[in-house]
Amino acid sequence: MKTLSDTFGRKFPYIRLSITDVCNYSCTYCLPQGYKKTPGDTRSFMSAEEISRLTKALSELGVCKIRLTGGEPTVRKDFFDILKDMKQNSNIPKVTMTTNGYRLDKIAEQLFEAGLDGINISIDSLNRETFKKLTGHDRLNEILEGIKILQKLDFKNIKINAVLLKGINDTYEEFEKFGNFIKKNKIDFRFIELMQTGDNLEYFKKNHVSSKIFKDYLEKNNWISQTFGKDAGPSLNFIHPEYQGKFGLIAPYSKDFCQTCNRLRVTSRGDLRLCLFGNTGISIRHLLQDDAQKDELVDLIIKQLHLKKESHYLELGDTGITPNLSSTGG
């Protein structure tokens, strides 16, 4: 079997696949003015048929995990058609998704029945008012209810993501609130260090705080570092004998963060991105129009990996061509 690897010896069994740029939230750190179409880009989002061809090709390249992202993936009317096709026809062992939790209480059972293998839910605060200020929506209780439904269905892989924000959720008191939540819930909770993108420089300067503050909290409270498998994301993970859940930390500004990179990205319009903060992307959509193009598609993806750089350059303020995280699937 052909596999995906680059000139630095890294292998890529994990694909983050965006199926839409549209997001119905207006999170302060991502889309504070709400979703707006990219000026000058008239291309439609990939069709379900194109996505199906892509995932079948990826399965022949040793990809064992695909994460559906957006935007908010569930705003697509054919979201469940895409998910079911991927589970039934692509030979990808693990299909997961990242979501803002929109209508989670209404669709939790459908997600379970469709065979979803894991879900990452964005919850930056467990305080209802703070959540509303950050996202523009008063939906925290609906999301928490959706999580309860998933737990009752014995859904195994539930993760919560929160962006670490200065003066909002970066205190030991806030860490304790999240800790109390996972103490009695078998859920992974991860803080993600705020990342600078093309259009959030002023927000970044005002709200960025080093992930070290959370790591110090974990070490002070006797959380134990843990490692995961080859298809895991970039999170540093921690367990504690008194807690059912786990804590995680994604620190993109840390030294050697990119050494263990194991994922590639495909945008909702069919561009292959070698890095979330890279300066280039190449369209592969023209090779998603017919089943007979699969070998050509596979060869193109393999060749592109020779262009992947050793590291992003976020620490230098280089955000590449990513205007916001919604545009590339975060």
CA distance 18 to 51: 10
Q: Give the pLDDT confidence score for residue 314 in this predicted structure.
A: 59
Q: Give the pLDDT confidence score for residue 241 in this predicted structure.
A: 96
Confidence band for 307, pLDDT divided at 50, 70 and 90: confident
Q: Cα 137–141–145 angle (5° rounding)? A: 130
| Overall fold of domain 14-158+257-327 | TIM Barrel (3.20.20)
Nearest residue to 85 via CA among 56, 120, 119: 56
Q: Give the pLDDT confidence score for residue 312 in this predicted structure.
A: 65
pLDDT tens sequence across 105-147: 999 999 999 999 999 999 999 999 999 999 999 999 999 999 9
SS3 sequence of the chain: CCCCECCCCCECCEEEEECCCCCCCCCCCCCCCCCCCCCCCCCCCCCHHHHHHHHHHHHCCCCCEEEEECCCHHHCCCHHHHHHHHHHHCCCCEEEEEECCCCHHHHHHHHHHHCCCEEEEECCCCCHHHHHHHHCCCCHHHHHHHHHHHHHCCCCCEEEEEEECCCCCCCHHHHHHHHHHHHCCCCEEEEEECCCCCCCHHHHHHHCCCCHHHHHHHHHCCCEEECCCCCCCCCEEEECCCCCCEEEEECCCCCCHHHHCCEEEECCCCEEECCCCCCCCEECHHHCCCHHHHHHHHHHHHHHHHHCCCCCCHHHCCCCCCCCHHHCCC
Average pLDDT over residues 275-281: 74
Cis peptide before 40 (omega within 30 of 0): no
The answer to whether residue 230 scores a pLDDT higher than 80 is no
Q: Give the pLDDT confidence score for residue 197 in this predicted structure.
A: 82
Q: Give the pLDDT confidence score for residue 328 in this predicted structure.
A: 61
The answer to whether residue 34 scores a pLDDT higher than 70 is yes
pTM (2 d.p.):
0.92
Average pLDDT over residues 221-228: 88
Q: Give the pLDDT confidence score for residue 251 in this predicted structure.
A: 84
Q: Which residue type, as a one-letter code, is found at position 172?
A: Y
The answer to whether residue 48 scores a pLDDT higher than 90 is yes
Domain ranges of the chain: 14-158+257-327
Q: Give the pLDDT confidence score for residue 38 in this predicted structure.
A: 74
Confidence band for 76, pLDDT divided at 50, 70 and 90: very high
Lowest-confidence pick of 150-154, 157-161, 316-320: 316-320
Q: Tell me if 162 sits within 8 A of 123, measured CB to CB.
A: yes
Q: Give the pLDDT confidence score for residue 108 in this predicted structure.
A: 98
Q: What tokens appear for 52 in the block?
A: 């199906």
